[in-house]
């Protein structure tokens, strides 16, 4: 048990270091960082419909944030899945990744660690697709934490290392 406690302490320190490195290397809207804030959606919706769907998406994500503080889990999952559908309708990978990150966070709160890892992996793939390296590193580090909580320490360490290496390669 003492060895496990030391391993968890070292791993937690390592993950915190990953997040610090990631945070220090992030500059919003700077193309040299590999961060893309938004993509132009390729959809058959009219401009007005896109605005309406995006407004609904943003409203739902605000509701999710508010309900997380009250722990209304049924409402949270309902709004996240509706947000997912809207992001898919908009064909917007950035928004999809955002929803998957939130679904991963929710799954973590509900101790559904395998589902958490799946959501973070989907977010990672989307961040990779749109060349959002800081988002990719975040998703990898979140996956690492999910694996650790599921007692798969080897995979957790592996994902944390990948996330750290990716974060190190983000130019400032």
CB-hemisphere CA count at 13 Å for 126? 25
Residue 169 has pLDDT above 70, yes or no: yes
Contact 113, 143 (CB under 8 A): no
State CA 29 to chain mean position distance: 18
Q: Where does the pLDDT of residue 32 fall: very low under 50, low under 70, confident under 90, or very high at 90 and above?
A: very low
Percentage of the residues of the chain whose pLDDT score is greater than 90:
38
Residue range 80-128, pLDDT digits in tens: 999 999 999 899 999 999 999 999 988 888 888 999 999 999 999 999 9
Residue range 76-87, pLDDT digits in tens: 888 899 999 999
In angstroms, the CA 63 to CA 58 distance is: 9
Which range, 26-35, 42-51, 59-68, 129-138, has the best average confidence (pLDDT)?
Answer: 129-138
- pLDDT averaged over the chain? 78
Long-range contacts for 58-66 (Cβ within 8 Å, ≥24 apart)?
60/86, 61/98, 61/99, 61/102, 64/102
Measure the CA angle with vertex 12, ends 10 and 16; round to 5°: 115
The pLDDT value recorded for residue 37 is: 45
The pLDDT value recorded for residue 24 is: 40
Contact 117, 146 (CB under 8 A): yes
* DSSP letter (8 states) at residue 110: T
Residue range 136-158, pLDDT digits in tens: 999 999 999 999 999 999 999 99
Residue 36 has pLDDT above 70, yes or no: no
The pLDDT value recorded for residue 2 is: 57
């Amino acid at each position: 048990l003492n060895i496990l406690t030391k391993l968890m302490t070292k791993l937690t320190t390592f993950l915190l270091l990953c997040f610090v490195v990631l945070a220090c290397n992030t500059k919003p809207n700077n193309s040299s960082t590999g961060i893309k804030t938004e993509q132009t959606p390729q959809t058959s919706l009219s401009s007005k419909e896109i605005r309406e769907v995006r407004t609904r998406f943003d409203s739902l994500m605000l509701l999710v944030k508010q309900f997380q503080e009250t722990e209304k889990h049924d409402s949270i999952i309902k709004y996240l899945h509706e947000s997912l559908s809207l992001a898919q309708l908009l064909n917007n990978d950035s928004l999809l990744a955002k929803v998957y990150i939130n679904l991963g966070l929710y799954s973590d709160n509900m101790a559904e660690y395998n589902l958490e890892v799946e959501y973070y992996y989907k977010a990672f793939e989307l961040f990779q697709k749109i060349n959002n390296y800081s988002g990719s590193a975040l998703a990898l580090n979140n996956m690492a934490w999910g694996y650790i909580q599921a007692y798969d320490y080897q995979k957790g360490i592996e994902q944390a290392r990948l996330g750290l290496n990716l974060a190190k390669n983000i130019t400032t």
